[in-house]
Amino acid sequence: MRRGVVLFNLGGPETLADVRPFLFNLFSDPEIIRTRIPGIRKPLAWLIATTREKKSSGYYTLIGGGSPLRRITEGQAGALRDELQSRGMDTNVYVAMRYWHPFTSEAVTRILNDEINELVCLPLYPQFSVSTTGSSINEMKRLLRDKEQAGQMTPRYISNWHDEPGYIDVIARQISEEISQFPDPDPSRVHLVFSAHSVPQSYIERGDPYLSQTEETVRLVCDALGNCSPHTLSFQSKVGPVKWLEPSTDSALRSLRVQGVEQVLMIPISFVSDHIETLYELDILYRDLARDLRFGAYRRVPALNCDPAFIRVLADLVVKSLSESGESSDHASPLS
């Protein structure tokens, strides 16, 4: 039995020259831009990518000229391979990015060339959304349908792990460590702001479980902490004029300051790796806003990246998936 694991992630432009084609790929996804008008998606994606290129390039310039997501994800893949090896499991680990290299198609080619018999598909998104995990799983299924040799392989799809005990524990540990660094380390005096990537409200109305799973993650983390800190769930990174989940992270910060909150700890609850949303939005955009609002202290919980405890969580998910019979594909199909 030749076993493999493929890590799903978004991908990101590695250089400024990559920004426009990355944005085009992103907005060409039918799970991102939903329209009933035939033939309009790609022209619309080109228009959005062209108009957003300059602004987005400015953000990437501020974090070093490109996204570190590929480097971090490949580091996670290597660490996961080593962790599984230490458990007596000789397992190849692949990276499949949805909108930039290495694309899912590149990962599938490597997987089939390696003659993998059993494949665990593990999204690096703890909470399921059709726009993230759903899109990645559907792309993988589409590609495998087109490959005759894929019939010799059993894929196992992990759709979400928002309530995985190890994941909850590592987030709670990080929060406790950060609270201890505040000028006033009394947990009741540090307001926790769980900031998640936003999605259009219409997705939730159509049955996307993303909001309920994110709320459940926050509840479990607060339970693990002992509910000693006040907290808020907010949403960042919205794009376009449609109604998105609220409150936005910037409006949440403004509201907390009006209420007299002095210390805030930002927790990127739907992100496990550093990229534009953590390095620019949380570390620059919202930090500057907090300074302008005259908060006494503003800190951020680090992204999990290659934290050994997080890598053990990923390994636990792989082992659990392999121990289950059949193919797991909860929520894997697009919602209508």
The CATH number assigned to the domain with range 165-300 reads: 3.40.50.1400
In order of 113, 140, 201, the CA distances from 75 in angstroms are 22, 22, 34
Q: What pLDDT is stored for residue 32 in this prediction?
A: 78
| Domain residue limits, the chain | 165-300
Closest CA to 3 of 81, 107, 98, 101: 81
21-30, 56-65, 128-137: the lowest-pLDDT one: 21-30
Tokens of 117: 């018999």
**This prediction's pTM:** 0.93
Tell me the average pLDDT across 250-277. Answer: 97
Q: Give the separation between CA 142 and CA 130, rounded to whole angstroms.
A: 15
Q: Is the pLDDT of residue 22 over 60?
A: yes
Q: Give the separation between CA 127 and CA 235, rounded to whole angstroms.
A: 14
Tell me the average pLDDT across 90-103. Answer: 97
Contact 18/53 with Cβ under 8 angstroms? no
Q: What pLDDT is stored for residue 180 in this prediction?
A: 97
pLDDT digits (tens, 9 = 90+) for 186-210: 999 999 999 999 999 999 999 999 9
Confidence of residue 332 (pLDDT cuts 50, 70, 90): very low
What single letter denotes the amino acid at residue 175?
Answer: I
Q: Give the separation between CA 275 and CA 22, rounded to whole angstroms.
A: 14
- The neighbouring-strand residues paired with 196 are 235
Residue 69 CB contacts under 8 Å (≥ 6 apart), including other chains: 9, 10, 11, 12, 97, 273, 274, 275
Mean pLDDT of the chain: 93
pLDDT digits (tens, 9 = 90+) for 285-314: 999 999 999 999 999 999 999 999 999 999
Confidence of residue 241 (pLDDT cuts 50, 70, 90): confident
Share of the chain above pLDDT 70, in %: 96
Q: What pLDDT is stored for residue 1 in this prediction?
A: 83
pLDDT digits (tens, 9 = 90+) for 140-176: 999 998 876 677 899 999 999 999 999 999 999 999 9
Q: What pLDDT is stored for residue 238 in this prediction?
A: 87
Tell me the average pLDDT across 39-65. Answer: 93
Contact 18/87 with Cβ under 8 angstroms? no
